[in-house]
C-alpha cells in the first residue's frame, strides 16, 4: 500500500475550487499522467463513475473511478478500481481568504508493476505527481483570476 498527502493554498473561493474539481474532465487537465476520462455517469449520491487511462513509467493503466462520497463544497472521495486500486480524497476548506485543497491518496499496484518499477521509485513518482496536480489546480485559478 502506498499513500501520499499534500495541501495547497488557492487564491479562489472554496466553492469555485470544489466546482472545478467536481468536473472529471478538469482532472485530466490538471493531473499529470491522466490521459483520458471517458464514460462519465452521474450517481444518485451526486458523484460520478467513469473510466480513465493513467500513464505511469510509460505504461498506460486503465481503470474505473467511483465517487463514493460527494459532499458539495467540502469533500469528495473516490475508489480506484482496476490494476491501480485504492482511494483518493479531496477536501476543500475556506482558508486565508481563499481555499485550502488537500489531496490524500492510498493505492495498491499489481505485483507485476511493483516488480518492474520498484516500490521506492513508484512512491517518489506519485508524490511528485500529487504535488504537480495541486500546483496545476492553483495555477488554473491564478490564470483565471480566481
- The percent helix, strand, coil of the chain (3-state, each to 5) is 30, 50, 20
Q: What is the pTM of this model?
A: 0.83
C-alpha grid cell, residue 14 = 472554496
Q: What is the CATH number of domain 2-143?
A: 3.30.530.20
Measured in degrees and rounded to the nearest 5, phi and psi for residue 130 equal -60, -45
Handedness of CA 95, 91, 136, 109 (dihedral sign): positive
- The pLDDT value recorded for residue 83 is 83
Q: How far is CA 97 from CA 9, 27, 71, 74, 120, in A?
A: 10, 24, 21, 16, 37
What residues does each domain of the chain span?
Answer: 2-143
* Residues in the chain, pLDDT under 70: 1, 57, 109-122, 143-146
pLDDT in tens, 22-52: 999 998 889 888 889 999 999 999 999 999 9
State the cell numbers at 41. Answer: 455517469
E strand or H helix that includes residue 95? strand 84-95
pLDDT at 129 (0 to 100): 83
Amino acid at each position: 500500500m502506498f499513500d501520499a498527502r499534500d495541501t495547497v493554498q488557492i487564491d479562489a473561493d472554496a466553492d469555485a475550487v470544489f466546482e472545478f474539481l467536481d468536473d472529471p474532465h478538469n482532472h485530466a487537465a490538471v493531473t499529470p499522467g491522466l490521459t483520458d476520462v471517458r464514460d462519465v455517469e452521474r450517481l444518485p449520491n451526486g458523484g460520478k463513475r467513469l473510466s480513465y487511462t493513467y500513464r505511469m513509467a510509460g505504461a498506460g493503466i486503465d481503470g474505473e473511478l467511483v465517487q463514493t462520497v460527494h459532499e458539495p463544497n467540502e469533500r469528495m472521495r473516490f475508489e480506484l478500481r482496476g490494476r491501480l486500486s485504492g482511494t483518493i480524497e479531496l477536501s476543500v476548506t475556506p482558508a486565508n481568504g481563499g481555499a485550502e485543497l488537500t489531496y490524500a491518496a492510498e493505492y495498491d499496484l499489481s505485483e507485476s508493476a511493483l516488480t518492474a518499477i520498484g516500490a521506492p521509485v513508484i512512491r517518489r513518482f506519485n508524490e511528485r505527481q500529487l504535488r504537480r496536480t495541486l500546483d496545476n489546480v492553483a495555477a488554473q485559478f491564478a490564470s483565471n483570476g480566481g
